Amino acid sequence: MSADIQKLGEVDRMIHEPARLMVVALLSAVKEADFQYLHRSTGLSKGNLSVHLSKLEEAGYVAIKKTFRGKYPLTICRLTERGREVLENYRKVIRAAL
Amino acid sequence: MTKDPKVLANRLLQRAWNRDGLPEIGSGLFSLVAAGLIYAMQILPRRSPGQIAAILIFAFVLPLYGFCAQPLVKRIRSRWLLERAGYVQHLPNRNLKRNNLRLLAVMAVVMPLVFLAFNYSERLLLPMTGALGALICGLVGWSARMVRLMAGGAIMLATAILLALSSVPVMIGMAILFGSQGLYYLLTGGVAFLRFMNDER
C-alpha cells in the first residue's frame, strides 16, 4: 500500500462525512452565507443541517453569528481559518490518494 | 458525488445561482430585445431615426446588460427573495473574469480564421453564433449539471443550423435565432421561478 493511500486513514472525519463536506465545501467558496441559503443549496433538512453546523462550530471549523436584516433573522455562517486549513489538507490527501 | 470539495462547491454555487430561474429570465429578455432590435434594423428604412436608434441601442445599451445582469439579480434577490433564497456574500471570482477573457481571446482568433477558411461566407454567421451560444449554454449547464440549460444550447445550435440551411435572409435568421432562444429561456426561467416560489422548504 503506498504512502498516499495510507494517508487516507488520517483524513479529518469531521469533514469527511458527506453532509458536512457539502456544507464546508460550500462555505469555502463564499465569504459567508446564512442558514436558509445552506439549507436550499445542500438540500439537507433544517434539523439535519442544524446538527451538522453545531458539530462544525464545536470543532472550530465554522463561525456562526445571529443577526437581523430588517425583520428577517439571519443565522450567518462563515468558514474559519482553521476550517479552511483542514479542508485544504483534506483535499490534498484525497487528491493524492485517488 | 465528487470528492473534490472545490468541484463540489462550484457545482453547488452554480446550482444555487440558477435555482430561482432569475438569470434565465434575464437572458431570455436580453435575447428577445436583441432579436427585436436586429429585426427592426432590417425592416426599418435605411438611416431612418428608428433604424439609427435600434443600431445605437444594440451597440451601446445592450452590452451594458452583460455588466449589469449579475448585480441586478443579486439586488432583486436581496430585496425581495431574501427569506426564500437566503443570504450569501460571494468571494470575488478572479478565475471567472480570467476565463471570460480567455474565451474572448480564443473567439477573437478562431472566428476570423473560420470566416477566412469559408471565404467570408455571410451564411456562416448563423451556425457560428449558434455554436458559440451552444458552447456557453453547454458550459454553464454542465458546470451546474442542469439539463434545461444544456438543452437550451442544443436547441440554439439546431435552430442555427436549420436557419443556415433555409432560404431565410441571414439577419432575419439571426432575429429568429435570438427570439427563439429568448422565448425558451423565458419559459424555462419562468417555470423555475414559479416552482421556486411554490417550494415550501
Sheet containing A62-69, strands listed edge to edge, beginning at the edge strand earlier in sequence? A62-69, A72-79, A30-34, B88-90
> Does the structure show a pLDDT above 80 at A7?
no
- Report DSSP state, residue A98: -
Determine whether the interchain pair A36/B13 forms a contact, defined as Cβ–Cβ distance below 8 Å. no
Q: Residue A79 has what pLDDT?
A: 95
The mean pLDDT value for B43-64 works out to 85
Which of A26, A34, A87 is closest, CB to CB, to B87? Answer: A34
ipTM for the whole complex: 0.83
CB atoms B5 and A25 under 8 Å: yes
Output the CATH code of domain A3-97.
1.10.10.10
- Contacts across the A-B interface (CB distance below 8 Å): 84
Residue whose C-alpha cell reads 451601446 in the numeric block: B60
Q: Name residue B88's beta-bridge partners.
A: A33
The whole-number pLDDT of residue B11 equals: 86
Q: How confident is the prediction for chain B on average, in pLDDT?
A: 86
Domain boundaries, chain A: 3-97
pLDDT score, position B151 = 95
What are the domain boundaries of chain B?
A: 5-198
Burial class (CB in 10 A: 0-12, 13-18, 19+), B111: middle
Q: Which residues contact B105 (CB under 8 A, 6 or more apart)?
A: none
